[in-house]
Amino acid sequence: MRCDCGEQLDEAIRLISQPIPVPSLSALHPEAETIPGRGAVIYLRQEGRGIGLLSKIRAYNLQDLGHDTVTANLMLGHEADERGYEVAAAILRDLGLDGGMRLLTNNPDKVEAMQKEGMTIVERVQMVPRSWKSRNPNLQLAGVGGAEAWQADVGAEKVAGATLIGGNSVHGPDLDKYLRTKVLRMGHMLPLWMEDPEQ
């Protein structure tokens, strides 16, 4: 309820599983072909934006007192985000996936860090929170088929398919405040939408 990490993992797996249309190389069959979805999820043990689990719990206590996630980290003597992506880049190189990738992220710092590590980013795919999609169908959506396909999949709030947690849409004031902080204080490239702009 306080962050979108689980939902982002779930949505990343869903997006990676989507079929990929590729142009035909055959003059005899000029129509595009579709290949099975593919991709990789790289898990890094960097809880709490790299500050560790204990500090993240302390940051949650500060958030309970009214501070946002950035201020809480700074009050504990940490940077707003202490993560590094050297290990992720090494894993992707080992897998042979450094030649050009679609990176699923809203975080401009992550894009820049991966490029500094020598990764070629051909496209950044936006990760719009499900609760924002279900409350505002006009938001730009990632994935094959766009908004119509997503709406057909969710049937309002549930996504069928290759997901770990079933694709439920979770929302609440703590999560909306966290997402708003990511956009306004950390520069995440995400369309800002709230039912109440003062939240």
Q: In the chain, which ranges are continuous DSSP H helix?
A: 5-17, 47-50, 53-64, 69-75, 86-94, 108-116, 130-135, 146-154, 173-184
> Over the stretch 177-191, which tens digit does the pLDDT of each residue have?
888 899 999 999 987
Alpha-carbon Rg for the chain in angstroms = 18
User: Do the strands 121-125 and 101-104 form a parallel or antiparallel pair, or are they unpaired?
Assistant: parallel
Q: Which of 15-24, 70-79, 124-133, 161-170 has the lowest mean pLDDT?
A: 161-170
Q: Which of 68, 81, 130, 176 is catalytic?
A: 81
Q: Is the pTM of this model over 0.85?
A: no
Q: Which long-range contacts (CB under 8 A, 24 or more apart) does 100-104 make?
A: 102/39, 104/8, 104/11, 104/12, 104/15, 104/16, 104/142
Predicted local confidence at residue 150, as pLDDT:
42
Decide if 83 is catalytic: yes
Alpha-carbon gap, residue 83 to 80, rounded angstroms: 9
**What's the Cα-to-Cα distance from 1 to each of 6, 7, 66, 174, rounded to whole Å?**
10, 10, 16, 7
Decide if 14 is catalytic: no
Alpha-carbon gap, residue 108 to 128, rounded angstroms: 15
Q: Which of 2, 83, 93, 135 is catalytic?
A: 83
Given a cut of 80, whether residue 30 has pLDDT beyond it is no
Q: What is the mean pLDDT of residues 11-40?
A: 84
Average confidence score pLDDT of the chain: 80
